[in-house]
Amino acid sequence: MNDPRSVSFGSRQARLSQDLFELLFGGCRPEHFDAGEHLFMQEDPGDRIYGVLSGTVEISIYGLTGRKLVANIELSRSLIGEIGALDGGPRTASALCLTGCTLVSLSRVQFLDRLEKNSHLAIAIIGLLCARLRWVSGERSDQALLKIETRLAKRLLFLSGVLADKDGWIPISQADLAAFLGATRESVNKMLNEWRGRSLIAIRRSAIRVTNANGLQTIVDLGDS
């Protein structure tokens, strides 16, 4: 029997266990999406839910002026678009494939039917939604209470754990990193150059590597205290 608590919670992610993921998307045909391709845009109809088999998907929110805030990065076994698929409302964010991605998907009708027939799956989805709400609440608290230095250090430590290649390089531009934080590129650039001088990070074109995780964690700890 599937454990209704089989949802894993990372520092920024909530993912279904392998068996529940397969229960939800069993029989679905994998689809390939190219890097740079959108699954959907903010305010699109919420008529489908996606599951990530491989690749990296960026979830972003756009303001009325077009300013972009990166809300999260989704990896294997992550769900995308579950809110719109549950209530039928418009998309609350945009989903962009950062890499080539292989996904499976269900229509809203199929999704609700599977939840109705599998109580363990429905409970797991509730747990996943709660994890996402806690994450959003934590992000809002960080935005309101923490200095950009602390927020940037936390974000780099997170990205190093989920996006870094085998050599530790995080494939992200400084502009995109600023979008993650809701900050200006100039303020992020200034902080990164200072940290490079202190040997906390290394920088190359469109990539950053954490070279002293303990040093960044100290910045986080001091900022949270």
Q: What are the residues whose beta carbons fall under 8 Å from the beta carbon of 176, sequence distance 6 or more?
A: 70
pLDDT in tens, 138-175: 777 777 778 889 999 998 998 898 889 999 999 888 88
Residue 52 buriedness (CB in 10 A; 0-12 / 13-18 / 19+):
buried
Question: Looking at the DSSP assignment, which residues form a beta bridge with residue 170?
Answer: 208
Q: How many Å apart are CA 213 and CA 79, to the nearest integer?
A: 29
pLDDT in tens, 176-199: 888 888 788 999 999 999 999 999
Q: How many CA atoms lie within 13 A of 19 on its CB side?
A: 9
Is residue 63 predicted with pLDDT exceeding 90? no
pTM of the model: 0.77
Token pair 């989704």: residue:
74
Return the percent helix, strand and coil in the chain, to nearest 5: 45, 25, 30
Distance of CA 47 to the CA centre of its chain: 20
Residue type, 92: T
Tokens encoding 41: 């845009």
Q: What is the DSSP letter of 146?
A: S
> For the chain, how far is it from start to end, CA to CA, in angstroms?
43
Question: Looking at the DSSP assignment, which residues form a beta bridge with residue 91?
Answer: none
* H helix or E strand, kind and range, residue 110: helix 108-117
